[in-house]
Structure 1
Amino acid sequence: MTEAVPFTDNVRDLSNADGYQFEFRCERCGNGYRSAFQRDLRETGQSLARGLGNLLGGRFSQLSSAADSLLDRGTNSAAKDRAMRQAVGQIADRFHQCRGCGDWVCGDVCWNDEIGQCVRCSPVLAEQLAQLQAEARRSQITERLATTDLTAGMDLRTPSIARCPSCGAQSGGGKFCQECGGSLAAERTCTSCSATNPVTAKFCSECGTPSGP
């Protein structure tokens, strides 16, 4: 009976013209392992024949062409089956197939050995508890912060402006500009009629009196 070649659905073929190599990846975290590179001895002989053909020409060139025809890297072969079987043997003990979801997962990070399933289907209790505790702490901090007075002593009635109306410097807060000493009040009172006007107004909107410098 022909022996079946074992395989998984998380394997990528990295084989090239010189030999065979395969990469296996965890379907949960993406961590992966590569099998050891297996050089194809026929390819080595083929390269030697090709080199002789290029050097000597004639009959040796014909031998090189014949060697090229013996190996078609675009198709499967018995050699590739053997290489795949060896690769699976090298990597198999690093992966488990979860009976819950069917995914192939790594044993180092994503396998719950106590339950016999991946940690997506059966999370590790200690890790899940740590995650829930972290989420609870964030939630409780948010709730406490919402009821904590962070504005004590701040003047919340007076409109705030981002730049000094006198010199245009960025406002750092307070009542006066840190660059020119000008007032940072958003409004000013008319000296003639006591009406309130924007600090940028040149004349009072009530009586027309010119605003101060």
Structure 2
Amino acid sequence: MTVLFSLSIIAICYILYLYYNQKRMLENYHSNALDAFSSHEDMKETLRIGLYNRFKRELEQEKDNDPLMFEHFVADILTTVRGGNTYVTKSSGDFGVDIEEQTENGLYLGQVKCYNDMNLVGFGPIAIIHSQMVKQGAVGGYVVTTSDFTSNARIYAEGLNIDLINGRQLVELWLEHLETKREEVEVLNPIPQM
């Protein structure tokens, strides 16, 4: 009886040892993959193009479940990275504001544009956000795109407290968001040291 009990204890310890080794190995792979994504410029460019293709709207079809998928994606990233509370506005009647973000410093208003590389964001969205900032008493704003901004848009935004976040910067924020989420999971489920 004691031999059987001893063998059972040894078997359980061995299974636990294998489990934690496997878990640690998978987490190391995940961490290394995230490091590779965040350090390799070609991978970042691929992710940027992938974001556009994932969220672009086809003229003949809307997104099946949620036509505001890109807005929610950006809002989730900004909530994690900037620490505020975000609200995605409805698709009509929002007067050009896609995201309202409440922070310790006050209200920020945002607009997102899922554009391809051939369609740079001009000064129009910046003007709309600035107008809404004045109207709603917001302390700042941002325009986020998967592409980039025209030089006129960049000049127009100077001094308006509006951040212009292009596709590359969005990928950087996304990777920061993923890293923060990974760290939160590790805090909730730490890896035991052996």
TM-score by length of 1: 0.24
More helix by share: 2
Q: Which has the larger radius of gyration?
A: 1
Which of structures 1 and 2 has the larger relative contact order (alpha carbons within 8 angstroms, sep 6+)? 2
TM-score by length of 2: 0.26
